[in-house]
Amino acid sequence: MKFRVIVSLFACVWITFGVLSPCVAAPLAPNIQADAIVTDMAQAFKRGDRKRLTALLPQAKGHPLEPWAAYWELKARLDEASTQEVRAFFQRYPDTYQEDRLRNDWLLQLGQRRDWGVLAEEHPNYRMRDDRELRCYFLTVELMEKGPRANPSIADEVRRNWMAMREADDGCTLAADRLYFNKQFTALDIWRKARLMMEHERPRTARNAVQIVAPEIANAVPDLYNNAEKFLAKNIAAPQKVRQELVVMALVKVASTDPDKADKLMRTKWQPYLTTEERHWMWGVIGRQAAMRLDDDALTYYARVAHDKDLTDDMLGWKVRAALRAGNTPKWPLVESSIIAMNPEARKEPTWIYWHARALLARKKVAPQIQQEANAMLESIAGVRGFYEQLALEELGRKVTAPARPPAPTAEEIEVARRNPSLQRALYAIAMGLRSEGVREWNYATNLVNAEGKVGLMSDRELLAAAQLACDNQVWDRCINTSERTRQTMDFEQRFPMPHKEAVIARAKSINIDPAYVYGLIRQESRFVTDARSGVGASGLMQVMPATAKWTARKIGLTNFMPEQIADRDTNIAIGTGYLKLVLDSFDGSMPLAAGAYNAGPSRSRRWRAPNDGSGPLLEGAIWAENVPFNETRDYVKKVLSNTTNYAALITGQPQSLKAKLGMVGPRDAMAPAENLELP
């Protein structure tokens, strides 16, 4: 496989010192020795071994991945490199991913050094424009030049970037500090950032925010984070002697782990000492945490907020989820008012468009104009591209069908993609085992470089050709991701490929599980990368953990199983589908519950149902999925079910219902024994 890919890629091109030239000799064969040098350099770069990189670089000259080798060597010593040396690299590897990647790294370093002159001079040449910290550095330069006369839109952009970042960030913190100095940020803007970081367990980032507005108390933040309850208890007798902003941060920290305790502290002591906005924020935090625990009290906490404008979009999102889950019939008026209170950008998300339309249609009396408004909302997102798009389609009375396939890329279009230097390097890197580097270069090429190799979006036809190039080389993750980026044209078979079809369908039929469900899960788990391995040790197409593989092998009667067998394709499929079938049967055939269990564990999926006394509500599967507390698992469940619906449309050729696959989710019968699917 490795050799076939490399030979086909370089049949008509040769790269020398980063320059693409026509072939004048036989097709380029893989050079195992040269490949080993580049692989060695990749490992040295990860170790931070500067000497090894410098020693090996001359041997990488002329290799197809020479730009990567040169990038690793210079990046490793960028803190010592001169401006002339950096710019020489740009000239040697123009219009490459590595040129722009190094420019990104260098500009960040210039920002950290406060070298604003060179940063402003070089920033216009930066193509990726996807680094928020770097963007904040550039905006800081503009803020310093124009002061309070700077465009107000800068403040809005910095606020969005800064609030979204979780880690300590010099660039956006610096920009926020400058905006506060210019009186374009208020103290409340800064304190809200600190509160958010306390809730997300980022004390260093919270401290950096406090340093802007109250440097005299910034050093108290780490201790407050580690001992929030002790801080509140120590100051409970004399609240007027302590900064109330610190009280709010301490209460936020308590609420992040125990919303009931934070509620008690608010009601019995601290509420009178806080401003209206601070009280509303605290009830929003407590309500959000309670909603994430699926507590019935969540809406009670939210009800103490008089003005939803004091809540963040995240708090409002969890208020919507709690209202959807509140009994057999959602509290639709609360769903509607909470979505209306969100920022305009948040309201554009398909999630909230769908539930807003549903809330309008659920009114006791739906006037014709309201019906039209709701239908227009649904039409604006209806389609087959995702979970809520499919639900909107069904709400309008239509089912999911596979769209007609567009004309396949022509031989000329495929040839243009094959000649793209970045795509060539990407596929070569992936074939060598440097998947991370290959994926980044591929994404750069398909996001920023058109068929002529110039900065600009690829057209739909160019994207389809690039995707087909990846498909033909069995690089399925790039095939899918590239095809998904088309804007008007959709090739369903590219987006939802079925590698290993005979093995998957035969195994699914043998254990009586829907092959579309298996494909929907594999697509989300590994994008069909057979040697995929997660950071926690899950392996293969179905991303099976070693302990799960061993346990499942015993359950399904797979004798003489050895841990290393999980890398074998057929064994991986057998164990992954076997475990999925066990989970699915345990949840009475509920696809969303089984998907949640596959991702987060059966005990969690069971716990996310209503209480086991049989008195809980019967929920739409979509409402249950939207209320999954873990962001990753919530997204996972929705994508697996959406994938499943599309695969079913392809496999059967018949219209499909996502709602039917979601079903209804109710409390587990307290009298029914549950099979223990937890690992011993």
CATH code at position 530: 1.10.530.10
- pLDDT over 70 at 339, yes or no: yes
Reported as a pLDDT band with limits 50, 70 and 90, residue 585 is: very high
- For 164, phi then psi, to 5°, come to -80, -20
Alpha carbon distance 290, 258 (integer Å): 9
In a domain, 613, yes or no: yes
- Record the pTM: 0.92
Range 358-369 average pLDDT: 94
User: CB atoms < 10 A from the CB of 10, how many?
Assistant: 20
Q: Grade residue 32 by pLDDT with cuts at 50, 70 and 90.
A: confident
Please report the pLDDT score of residue 10 as a whole number. 44
Calpha distance 626→324 (Å, rounded): 9
Q: Give the residue from 190, 642, 63, 637 showing the smallest Cα distance to 383.
A: 642
Burial 178-217 (b: 16+ CB within 10 A, else e): bbbebebbeeebbbbbbbbbbbeebbebbbbbbbbbbeeb
Q: Are 336 and 360 in contact (CB under 8 A)?
A: yes
CB 149 within 8 A of CB 113: no
Per-residue pLDDT at 612: 53
CA-CA-CA-CA torsion for 377, 380, 385, 391, nearest 10 degrees? 20
Residue 104 lies in a domain: no
What pLDDT sits at residue 168? 84
Q: Distance (Å, rounded) from C-alpha 206 to C-alpha 169?
A: 11
29: CB partners within 8 A, 6+ apart: 3, 6, 7
Number of domains in the chain: 2
Tokens for 331? Answer: 């509290």
Distance CA 240, CA 249 (A): 16
Q: CA 609, CA 623: separation in Å to the nearest integer?
A: 11
C-alpha distance from residue 680 to each of 547, 551, 676 (Å):
9, 8, 9
H-helix or E-strand containing 536? Answer: none
Paired strand residues for 539: 533, 544
Mean pLDDT of the chain: 90
Tokens at 41, concatenated: 């350099």
Question: 3-class DSSP state for residue 455?
Answer: strand
Residue 606 lies in a domain: yes
Q: Would you state the structure tokens that stand for residue 223, as one six-digit string? A: 């201790």
Q: Which residue has the higher pLDDT, 17 or 587?
A: 587
* Assigned domain for 391 exists: no
Examine residue 324 and state whether it is found in any structural domain, yes or no: no
**pLDDT score for 537:** 87
Q: CA 289, 290, 291, 293 torsion: positive or negative?
A: positive
Give the span between the Cα atoms of 468 and 472, in whole angstroms.
6
In a domain, residue 117? The reply is: no
Between 242 and 335, the higher pLDDT residue? 335
Domain boundary residue, one of 290, 311, 332? 311
The widest CA-to-CA distance across the chain, in whole angstroms, is 86
**Residue 65, token pair as written in the block:** 């991945």
Angle, in degrees to the nearest 10, between helices 66-76 and 421-432: 80
Cβ(53)–Cβ(102) below 8 Å: no
pLDDT tier at 455 (50, 70, 90 boundaries)? low
Domain that holds residue 534: 501-665
Residue 327 falls within a domain, yes or no? Answer: no
Q: Counting Cβ atoms within 10 Å, is residue 423 exposed (0-12), middle (13-18) or buried (19+)?
A: buried
**Residue 468's pLDDT band (boundaries 50, 70, 90)?**
very high
Mean pLDDT, rounded, for 158-171: 90
Nearest to 435 by CA among 530, 304, 327, 306: 530
pLDDT tier at 674 (50, 70, 90 boundaries)?
very low
283 vs 151 pLDDT, higher one:
283
469 pLDDT above the threshold of 90: yes
Residue 24: the pLDDT is 27
Is the pLDDT confidence value at 383 over 80? yes
- Per-residue confidence (pLDDT) for residue 342, from 0 to 100: 97
Distance of CA 23 to CAs 66, 269, 453, 623, Å?
A: 18, 79, 19, 58
Alpha helices in 556-619 (DSSP H): 569-586, 591-600, 602-607
What pLDDT shows up at residue 447? 87
The pLDDT score that the predictor gives to residue 92 is 98
Q: Please report the pLDDT score of residue 241 as a whole number.
A: 57
What was the pLDDT predicted at 454?
52
Q: 425 vs 1, which has greater pLDDT?
A: 425
Do residues 635 and 672 lie in contact, with contact meaning Cβ atoms separated by under 8 Å?
no
CA distance linking residue 608 with residue 625, whole number of Å: 9
Reduced to 3 states (helix: H, G, I; strand: E, B; else coil), residue 625 is: helix
116 is a domain residue: no
Cα 179 from Cα 146, distance rounded (Å)? 11
Q: Which residues are catalytic?
A: 525
Query: What are the tokens at 390?
Result: 């499919």
273: enclosing H helix or E strand: none
pLDDT-wise least confident of 27-36, 50-59, 258-267, 344-353: 27-36
Domain end among 311, 345, 362: 311
Site of tokens 């999630």: 351
pLDDT at 3 over 90: no
Q: Give the dihedral sign, CA 627/629/631/636.
A: negative
Whole-angstrom distance, CA of residue 212 vs CA of residue 191: 10
Quick check: 41 and 60 in contact, CB under 8 A? yes
* Separation between Cα atoms, residue 13 and residue 9, nearest integer Å: 8
Instruction: Check residue 39 and give its pLDDT.
Output: 97
- Number of DSSP helices (H) and strands (E) in the chain, helices first: 39, 4
Choose among 566, 564, 529, 525: nearest CA to 549. Answer: 566
Residues 302 and 347: their CA atoms lie apart, in Å, by: 20
Q: Of all residues in the chain, what percent carry a pLDDT higher than 90?
A: 82
Q: 264, 288, 311: which is the final residue of a domain? A: 311
Q: Which residue has the tokens 């980032």?
A: 205
CA-closest candidate to residue 23, choices 35, 34, 42, 10 = 10
Q: What are phi and psi of 656, to 5 degrees?
A: -125, 155
Q: Which of 345-349, 389-393, 531-535 has the lowest mean pLDDT?
A: 531-535
